[in-house]
Amino acid sequence: MIKFLDLHKVNQRFENEFQEKFKAFLASGRYVLGREVETFEHDYAAYCGTAHCIGVSNGLDALTLIFKAYKILGKLNDGDEVIVPANTYIASILAIINAGLTPVLVEPDQETFNISPKEIKKAISVKTKAILAVHLYGQLADMDAIQALAKAQDLLVVEDAAQAHGAIHNNGKRAGNLSHAAAFSFYPGKNLGALGDAGAVTTNDSALAKTIFLLRNYGSEKKYINQHLGYNNRLDELQAAFLNVKLKHLDADNDRRQHIALKYLAEINNKKVLLPTCKAVKSHVFHVFVVLVTDRAHFMTYLQAKGIETLIHYPVPPHQQEALKTFNTKKFPITEAIHQRIVSLPISPVLSHQDVDFIINTINTY
């Protein structure tokens, strides 16, 4: 059986280091916002090329904190519109609503599945104050076009980089450093995954960083002094320790993902299976490898019978979820068509050459 993602195997490579970290953690007696969090924030900012990284509880909170902090800083206000892809994980949209802002859903580009700059342009209103660009599946959104639109209209740009750790734009900058502020998730299945929930915000905006540092810790910088109506959204010290181990291997892991992806792209040659486009390899870190098929159920059952596990990212688009009732009557045909046909194939740094070949052959004989 080839698992969709063998996380045990992914992490087994680091077990000795994790054990060492755990021992040191126990010996320190310091369990909250200690050295490991500080080190991670320093190193992850350096990795992304940003001035600041603030470790937080998870990806959804990272996004929400960015919006809430901009409200405190007076750059966003209740009810302001934020443009967001209709084709995303629902958390992108939840963050906007939970921060008291209004999401405006926009169709994706048919080829990249990422938000379409043309459609953004149509959706901009006088109420629009920000664009949330999601780097879906690990591929950078069209940041040049998005930045151009944003500059013309004086909009904030926020990246949802939950799926794109390490992706490099052709200007040499990484995901997390392509906008005013970016949110990362280190959910275990991510390219950089903790052993539980974890997240971070990266930014070059010092005022924003400062505000988020306060908000994640009850609105407090100095113990027992509370400046803001804050939250408890700290990055766990032990999870930070694990992330410090894994960050060193992120580039190598992404290389392996890209290698597998290029092999899939070159060698899967079944006409019933539409392959994703990837314009610049460095700009796509293949968090998931998504193909389009017309007979999805049949295709997935076939692969399952051959011992290949697949997933769907995602089976139901956000606008059709009960949670987003006010959107249920709206139509996003491109998003809906994508959701009906996508299948995610196994891809990970520990997927063996043999398994990759087997997957390719199995698909080609479908």
Binding site for a second copy (CB under 8 A): 6-9, 11-12, 15, 18-19, 22, 25-29, 31-32, 57-61, 90-91, 94, 97-98, 187-188, 194-197, 218-219, 224-232, 234, 236-239, 312, 314-316, 318, 321-324
Site membership for ligand TQP, residue 31 (CB under 6 A) = yes
Which neighbouring-strand residues pair with 185?
199
Applying the rule CB under 6 A, the residues between 96 and 135 that interact with ligand TQP are: 134
| Residue 74 beta carbon to ligand TQP: minimum distance, rounded to whole angstroms | 25
Residue among 154 and 322 whose Cβ is closer to ligand TQP? 322
- Identify the CA nearest to 32 among candidates 216, 273, 294, 210: 216
Exposure string for 34-54, b = 16+ CB within 10 A, e = fewer: bebbebbbeebbebbebebbb
190 an active-site residue? yes
Verify binding: residue 5, ligand TQP, rule CB under 6 A.
yes
Minimum CB distance to a second copy, residue 213 (Å):
15
Residue 322 interacts with which of a second copy, ligand TQP, none, CB < 5 to 8 Å by class: a second copy
Q: In what order do the strands lie in the sheet with 102-106?
A: 52-56, 199-203, 181-185, 156-160, 128-134, 81-85, 102-106
Q: Which is nearer to ligand TQP, 270 or 321 (CB)?
A: 321
For ligand TQP, the binding residue among 23, 30, 272, 353 (CB under 6 A) is 30
Q: What is the CA radius of gyration of the chain?
A: 20
Q: Is the peptide bond before 31 cis (omega within 30 degrees of 0)?
A: no
Host H or E run for residue 93: helix 91-98
Nearer of residues 174 and 234 to a second copy, judged by Cβ: 234
Number of residues written out for the chain: 366
| CA dist list (Å): 239 to 27, 30, 57, 167 | 16, 13, 10, 22
Instruction: Please tell me whether residue 179 binds ligand TQP under the rule CB under 6 A.
Output: no
Pick what 4 binds: a second copy, ligand TQP, none; C-beta below 5 to 8 Å, kind-dependent.
Answer: ligand TQP
Of 50, 88, 114, 239, which one interacts with ligand TQP (CB under 6 A)?
88
Minimum distance between the CB of residue 224 and ligand TQP, rounded to whole angstroms?
7
* 16 Cβ neighbours under 8 A, 6+ residues apart: none
Per DSSP, what are the bridge partners of residue 232? 217
97 makes contact, choosing from a second copy, ligand TQP, none, with CB < 5 to 8 Å by partner type, with a second copy
Catalytic residue among 9, 190, 272, 330: 190
How many Cα atoms occupy the beta-carbon half-sphere of 294 within 13 Å?
3
Choose between 72 and 136: whose C-beta lies nearer to ligand TQP. 136
Residue 39 or 153: the one with the smaller Cβ distance to ligand TQP is 39
CB of 214 to ligand TQP, least distance (A): 14
- Residue 235 to residue 32: CA distance in whole angstroms: 8
- Separation CA 222–CA 2 (nearest Å): 50
DSSP string, 108-163: BPTTT-SBPHHHHHHH--TTEEEEEEE-GGGBPP-HHHHHHHHHHHT-EEEEE-TT
* CB 243, min distance to ligand TQP, A: 13
Give the C-alpha separation, 324 to 185, whole Å.
22
Q: Does 232 bind ligand TQP (CB under 6 A)?
A: yes
Which residues ranging from 292 to 321 are in contact with ligand TQP (CB under 6 A)?
A: 313
Q: Give the single-character DSSP code of 332.
A: -
Which residues here bind ligand TQP, judged by CB under 6 A?
A: 4-5, 7, 29-32, 58-60, 88-89, 91-92, 134, 160, 162-163, 185, 187-189, 197, 199, 232, 313
Q: Which residues are catalytic?
A: 190
